[in-house]
Amino acid sequence: MEPHSPEQTVAVRPDHNVRQFVFAAMVVVPALLFWGLLAVVGVGLYGIVVALGEEEQCTVARIPLTGVLTTTSGGYGVLDYATAADQAVAQIVDADMDDSIVAILVDIDSPGGTPVAGDEIARALHDATKPTVAVVRDMGTSAAYWAAAGADYIIASPVSDVGSIGVTMSYTELAGANDEEGSRWVGIASGAHKDAGNPERPLTEEEQAYFQTQVDTVHEYMVSRIAEFRPILTREEYAALADGRAYLGSEAQTLKLIDGVGGIAEARVHLAQKLTVSEDLVTICAAEDTMFAGLL
């Protein structure tokens, strides 16, 4: 084949350049436009997410204490309406470690529970390094009030039930009903007191005295711990109020069992004053929304 003449070479080059230009126009330019548009949209979405995060950022962890207070989730068998001290304590500790959280609020609606559960929650609140506030809703009595005593500040509705500082082991004895039905209790146990307290038979005087001693011991410990966690009153003053009565919130404030009346709104005002910040910066959210919730 003969080599191209200069005229032929000049005629070919323009066609090649045209093909390159067409390729760039059809493939490269649209690709650049796509990725550029994607980058712009991505930056915009990121800005929106950041803005929303700043608006809804949690500053106060809200930890619920509802129902019967138990030590673990299985502490009272199958109970839907219960709070385990294990979980509540973990949430308090996690919130105290979270740098984005500035205060802790326990939201209480509980008739009480076990002495150990109340004491463990109170200790966790007392040991927290951040401001803590307890808000009593319908009820904060017995072990629930014990737990609240660990907080720096207690608020309750004027018509809440508060206090009921006391201990009970009462139960319904069925021995009389068994006699009427012709049933007879047969006691087979490894020790003299192993079946003490079984409702199918009457307590002996010795057994009743023993259980009363236990109740009195726990009661004394409860009063002492509340006075330790909340030294607004002396131990003797708490003891005088610890006859098992539940007081209305308005009365409880007069007796200094609580510090103020109200609810969540009043708690926000108190925390804003405590932290010397605007109320707008006191944003309360569920403890599950805090960064350490995944460790529970």
Residues catalogued as catalytic:
142, 194
Q: 3-state DSSP helix/strand/coil percent for the chain, to nearest 5?
A: 50, 15, 35
> Looking up tokens 């548009």, which residue turns up?
37
User: Is 79:68 a contact under the CB 8 Å cutoff?
Assistant: yes
User: Is 93:126 a contact under the CB 8 Å cutoff?
Assistant: no
Which among 88, 113, 111 has a CA at the least distance from the CA of 160?
111
> Looking up tokens 């019967």, which residue turns up?
68
User: Is 71:120 a contact under the CB 8 Å cutoff?
Assistant: yes
d(CA 222, CA 21): 87
Q: Which residues contact 148 (CB under 8 A, 6 or more apart)?
A: 106, 108, 122, 134, 136, 140, 154
Q: Which residues contact 200 (CB under 8 A, 6 or more apart)?
A: 174, 175, 178, 185
User: Is 134:161 a contact under the CB 8 Å cutoff?
Assistant: no
Give the pair of three-digit tokens for residue 244: 């098992």
